């Protein structure tokens, strides 16, 4: 529950700032820098390169999460909540697959998800020397950033042409290292199986980020290529036995974002400015959607997935913020930073970073002054205005040389943008009006009626009138209309009378000016000076640490382990018996049915083995984005599926505490049990088992 959040002290030695040896199983390690010696010393086992390559090639990146290939015919396993947006997308008013679940008994019945693209990491290339070498001696922060951006653009383009694959720029260690990651792209992805929302998110928001848990949070898709099931170069074998307490586990996934290498000034900005603002905005958006959902069952179906995602973010950010408000932890971070600064100040070889912390402090002060403008000069809750801004900006940007464009409109990224604009998505005009209206009202409240953005958007009219006229008058919900404008280029945009295009033109120049000011005075400084601090840290402590999470592929490890809570120890595994006990103990009506069982689980209560492990905890280092990550044992067999962390782990965005940080996973054994005995999906269970 939100009220149970407490503040946790930072462990005595903070790796991110003092660089000494890591504690326990901390770390979200890149696949090029796996701490094999440390693993071997503690567990008597470390994976070899063949083992690592097989795991890496088995993992796929989902939008906002992770999955893995689990059959030779392209089955992909992930969380229900990672796949939920796709499940919602292929649902309609007559087929609510999020609520009721879905199973395709034959491959002909598998449903293609429009626009869903998965990625497999095939190669990693360190280009730090070339990127750093592009910066001339004495360059300003802005000049250095521009030089690096141009060089990275050239390298990505060069690699893309060489491989024919999708390539991405990857910055690690706050700019201390630059890499190019190469990906195999999978753009024909079909839904195969999803359980009911109620069993996937059993316990609702009350149980979210807690443990013990009783969630069957998984879904299954299949990748196709050339109209046939795809044969991946590697896939994970399903466990033949399963886990027990004390067993070593490994997780490969895409942790979204940590900030353990940030400076104290950056953390203080998040504590005092950005985190409170995020929570305020989330609460407002949830309120708008809940009011819309209350109008009827169909309205609720349209927005339940959005509400779920926003509430999840709200609880997570509340936990992150609790770490920043821990005075003892922040005091230790500040002390450790001062120690590193003192080392830099007395070493002539590190003079390049002597003023870096001061420069970042000044940048954060500048960011504070422009924070509201940065937050509000944008789309304000309208998906149509977002599409309009993309179209307006893209037609301007493509007229420029690639190196002078905004990063999102460089040649390497244009195909993805155009593909997204061409996707037909579920669209609900009344929902769009409600969200756009509130976004405009929020802008008025936060910026004031005389702010240039507010005046440009409203023109003296009421927010609800502007929103209704723009939404009802726009054709941008139709992919054909978006395609026509995209192909017509600047001439078509200039001639368009679509009200969303007209609004986008009004605010684009304002948004660009604010963005340019932010990039020049904040972004360039933090990028350049953060990289200098990273290089100083490498020189002082060596490269025995891991970079902050950046939604790039990482491997973490740790054992199945309990921890102390509420005066006792929590159990390492929950079971199906515990699921039924929790349902019986609460009854079907408590907290709007949070612990009610779906009808199939009531019907098949007598059929399931109550001793089957359901969820388990293990002591390893994860964060949002790891959702859907495969859990494997020493043999490399799939034994589980990450779906959450406990509430004590949330301050882990800023520091790791081995005593209480735990990852929460679905046990592979319960997936087999459920498919066979509850859902009548024995053929799918057999395919997962490799039979």
Q: Please give the residue that has the higher pLDDT: either 441 or 402.
A: 441
Which pLDDT score is estimated for 164? Answer: 93
Please determine, for residue 23, whether its predicted confidence score (pLDDT) is greater than 70: no
298 lies in some domain: no
pLDDT tens readout for residues 161-209: 999 999 999 999 988 999 999 999 999 999 999 999 999 999 998 999 9
CA distance 217 to 644: 10
Interior angle at CA 354, CA 353 and CA 359, nearest 5: 80
Q: Is 526 exposed, middle or buried (0-12, 13-18, 19+ CB in 10 A)?
A: buried
189: helix, strand or coil: strand
Strands 554-559 and 663-667: what pairing?
Answer: unpaired
For residue 143, give both structure tokens: 């000049």
Whether residues 440 and 554 share a domain: the answer is no
Whether residue 405 lies inside any domain: the answer is: yes
**Among 184-193, 368-377, 467-476, the least confident range:** 368-377
Q: What is the DSSP letter of 650?
A: G
| Confidence at residue 299, expressed as pLDDT on a 0 to 100 scale | 95
pLDDT at residue 341 greater than cutoff 80: yes
CA dihedral 10, 13, 14, 17 (to 10 degrees): 140
Q: Is residue 383 in a domain?
A: yes
Query: Contact, 155 vs 130, CB < 8 A?
Result: yes
Using an 8 Å Cβ cutoff, are 427 and 477 in contact?
Answer: yes
Residue 195 covered by a domain = yes
pLDDT at 24: 61
Per DSSP (E only), the strands in 63-217 are 65-69, 75-78, 102-103, 111-112, 118-126, 166-172, 177-186, 189-194
Q: Compute the distance between CA of residue 521 and CA of residue 526 in angstroms, rounded to an integer.
A: 9
Those residues whose C-beta lies under 8 Å from the C-beta of residue 389, and which sit 6 or more positions away, are 378, 379, 504, 507, 508, 511
pLDDT in tens, 300-329: 999 988 998 899 899 999 999 999 998 988
| Residue where a domain terminates, one of 186, 213, 229 | 186
Backbone angles phi, psi at 407, to 5 degrees: -50, -40
* Angle separating helix axes 356-369 and 524-541, nearest 10 degrees: 150
Does residue 649 share a domain with residue 500?
no
β-partners of residue 69 are 76
Answer yes or no: do 500 and 609 share one domain: no
Claim to verify: residue 245 and residue 99 sit in the same structural domain? yes
Q: How many domains does the chain have?
A: 3
Residue 226 burial (C-beta neighbours within 10 Å; 0-12, 13-18, 19+): exposed
Q: Which of 518, 537, 556 is the last residue of a domain?
A: 537
Q: Which residues of 33-45 are buried (b: 16+ CB within 10 A; e: fewer)?
A: bbbeebbeebeee
3-state SS class at 282? helix
Q: 3-state SS string over 655-666?
A: CCCCCCCCEEEE
pLDDT digits (tens, 9 = 90+) for 213-242: 999 999 999 999 999 999 999 999 999 999
Question: For 9, which DSSP code?
Answer: P
Q: Considering the domain boundaries, does residue 200 fall inside one?
A: yes
> Does residue 251 sit within a domain?
yes
Q: Enumerate residues 6+ apart whose C-beta is below 8 A from 689.
A: 238, 672
Would you say residue 7 has pLDDT above 70?
Answer: no
The answer to whether 652 touches 608, Cβ cutoff 8 Å, is: no
* Domain boundaries, position 371: 367-537
Going by pLDDT thresholds of 50, 70 and 90, the confidence category of residue 10 is very low
- Provide DSSP, 201-215: TTTHHHHTT-SS---
205 dihedral zone (left: phi>0; alpha: psi -120 to 50; beta): alpha
668 found inside a domain: yes
Indicate whether 462 belongs to any domain. yes
Q: CA 690, CA 668: separation in Å to the nearest integer?
A: 14
Percent with pLDDT over 70 in the chain: 96
pLDDT per position as a tens digit, 46-85: 999 999 999 999 999 999 999 999 999 999 999 999 999 9
Find tokens 């495969």 and name the residue.
630
CATH number at residue 254: 2.40.10.120
pLDDT(3) > 80: no
Helix, strand, coil % in the chain, rounded to nearest 5: 50, 15, 35
One domain, residues 585 and 476? no
Is 214 found in the same domain as 124?
no
212 preceded by cis ω (within 30°)?
Answer: yes
pLDDT, tens only, 109-147: 999 999 999 999 999 999 999 999 999 999 999 899 889
Instruction: Indicate if 112 and 239 belong to the same structural domain.
Output: yes
Tokens of 344: 């830099």
What are the structure tokens assigned to 178, written together? 């630059």
Q: Are residues 195 and 109 in the same domain?
A: yes
Of 201, 202, 160, 152, which Cα lies nearest the Cα of 178?
152
Instruction: Give the three-class secondary structure for 479.
Output: helix
Q: How confident is the model at residue 2 (pLDDT cuts 50, 70, 90)?
A: very low
What's the confidence (pLDDT) of residue 281?
Answer: 94
Q: For residues 462 and 513, state if they share a domain.
A: yes
- pLDDT score recorded for residue 6: 28
For position 414, what pLDDT does the model report?
86
How many residues belong to the chain? 691
For the segment 644-657, what is each residue's pLDDT rounded down to a tens digit? 999 999 999 998 98
Could you tell me if 124 and 222 lie in one domain? no
Residue 9, pLDDT above cutoff 80: no
Report yes or no: 119 and 184 within 8 Å, Cβ to Cβ: yes
CB 672 within 8 A of CB 686: no
* Shared domain check, 224 and 95: yes
Question: What pLDDT is attached to residue 502?
Answer: 96
Residue keyed to tokens 């408000």: 325
**pLDDT (0 to 100) of residue 14:** 35
Cα dihedral sign, 30-190-418-278: negative
Q: For residue 476, what are its two tokens?
A: 């941008």
666-688: average pLDDT = 98
| R_g over Cα of the chain | 25
Q: What are phi and psi of 332, to 5 degrees?
A: -70, -40
Phi and psi at 385, nearest 5°, equal -65, -35
pLDDT classification of 413: cutoffs 50, 70, 90: confident
Tokens of 565: 């809570």
pLDDT at 18: 35
Q: Last residue of some domain: 186, 211, 231?
A: 186
248 & 382 share domain = no
The lowest-confidence range among 19-28, 415-424, 430-439, 631-640 is: 19-28
């Amino acid at each position: 529950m939100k009220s149970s959040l407490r503040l946790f002290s930072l462990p005595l030695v903070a790796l991110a700032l003092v660089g000494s040896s890591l504690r326990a199983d901390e770390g979200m390690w890149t696949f090029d820098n796996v701490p094999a010696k440390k693993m071997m010393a503690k567990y008597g086992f470390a994976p070899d390169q063949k083992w690592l390559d097989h795991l890496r090639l088995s993992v796929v990146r989902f939008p906002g999460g992770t999955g893995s290939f689990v059959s030779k015919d392209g089955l992909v396993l992930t969380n229900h909540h990672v796949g939920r947006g796709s499940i919602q997308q292929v649902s309609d008013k007559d087929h609510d697959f999020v609520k009721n679940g879905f199973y395709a008994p034959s491959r002909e019945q598998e449903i293609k998800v429009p626009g869903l693209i998965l990625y497999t990491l095939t190669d990693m290339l360190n280009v730090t020397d070339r990127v750093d070498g592009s910066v001339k001696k004495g360059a300003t922060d802005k000049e250095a950033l521009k030089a690096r951006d141009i060089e990275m653009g050239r390298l990505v383009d060069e690699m893309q042409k060489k491989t024919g694959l999708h390539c991405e720029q990857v910055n690690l260690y706050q700019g201390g290292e630059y890499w190019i990651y190469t990906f195999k792209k999978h753009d024909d992805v079909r839904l195969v199986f999803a359980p009911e929302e109620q069993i996937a998110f059993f316990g609702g928001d009350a149980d979210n980020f807690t443990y013990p848990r009783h969630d069957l949070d998984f879904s299954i898709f299949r990748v196709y290529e050339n109209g046939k099931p795809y044969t991946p170069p590697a896939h994970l074998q399903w466990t033949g036995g399963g886990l027990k307490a004390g067993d070593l586990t490994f997780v490969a996934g895409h942790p979204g974002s940590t900030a353990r290498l940030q400076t104290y000034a950056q953390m203080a900005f998040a504590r005092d400015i950005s985190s409170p603002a995020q929570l305020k905005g989330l609460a407002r958006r949830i309120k708008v959607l809940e009011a819309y959902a209350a109008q009827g069952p169909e309205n609720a179906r349209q927005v339940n997935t959005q509400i779920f995602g926003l509430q999840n973010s709200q609880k997570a950010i509340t936990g992150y913020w609790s770490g920043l408000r821990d005075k003892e932890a922040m005091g230790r971070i500040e002390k450790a930073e001062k120690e590193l600064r003192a080392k830099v100040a007395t070493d002539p070889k590190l003079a390049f970073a002597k003023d870096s912390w001061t420069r970042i402090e000044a940048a954060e002060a500048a960011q504070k002054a422009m924070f509201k403008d940065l937050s509000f000069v944008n789309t304000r809750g309208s998906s149509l205005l977002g599409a309009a801004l993309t179209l307006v900006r893209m037609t301007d940007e493509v007229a420029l040389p690639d190196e002078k464009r905004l990063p999102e409109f460089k040649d390497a990224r244009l195909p993805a943008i155009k593909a997204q604009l061409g996707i037909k998505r579920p669209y609900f005009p009344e929902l769009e009006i409600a969200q756009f209206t509130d976004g405009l009202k929020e802008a008025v409240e936060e910026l004031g009626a005389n702010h240039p953005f507010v005046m440009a958007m409203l023109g003296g009219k009421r927010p609800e009138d502007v929103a209704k006229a723009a939404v009802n008058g726009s054709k941008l919900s139709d992919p054909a209309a978006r395609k026509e404008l995209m192909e017509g280029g600047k001439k078509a945009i200039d001639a368009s009378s679509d009200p969303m295009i007209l609004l986008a033109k009004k605010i684009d120049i304002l948004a660009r000016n604010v963005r340019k000011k932010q990039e020049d005075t904040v972004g360039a400084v933090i990028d350049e000076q953060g990289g200098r601090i990273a290089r100083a840290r490498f020189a002082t402590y060596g490269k025995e640490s891991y970079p902050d999470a950046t939604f790039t592929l990482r491997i973490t490890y740790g054992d199945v382990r309990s921890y102390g809570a509420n005066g006792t120890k929590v159990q390492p595994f929950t079971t199906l018996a515990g699921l039924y006990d929790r349902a019986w103990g609460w009854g079907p009506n408590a907290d709007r049915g949070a612990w009610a069982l779906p009808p199939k689980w009531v019907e098949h209560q007598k059929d399931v083995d109550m001793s089957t492990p359901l969820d388990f905890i293990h002591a390893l280092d994860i964060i949002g984005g790891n959702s859907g990550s495969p859990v494997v044992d020493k043999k490399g067999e799939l034994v589980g599926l990450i779906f959450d962390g406990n509430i004590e782990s949330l301050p882990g965005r800023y520091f790791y505490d081995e005593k209480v940080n735990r990852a929460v996973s679905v046990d592979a054994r319960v997936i087999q049990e459920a498919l066979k005995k509850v859902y009548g999906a024995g053929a799918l269970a057999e395919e997962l088992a490799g039979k």
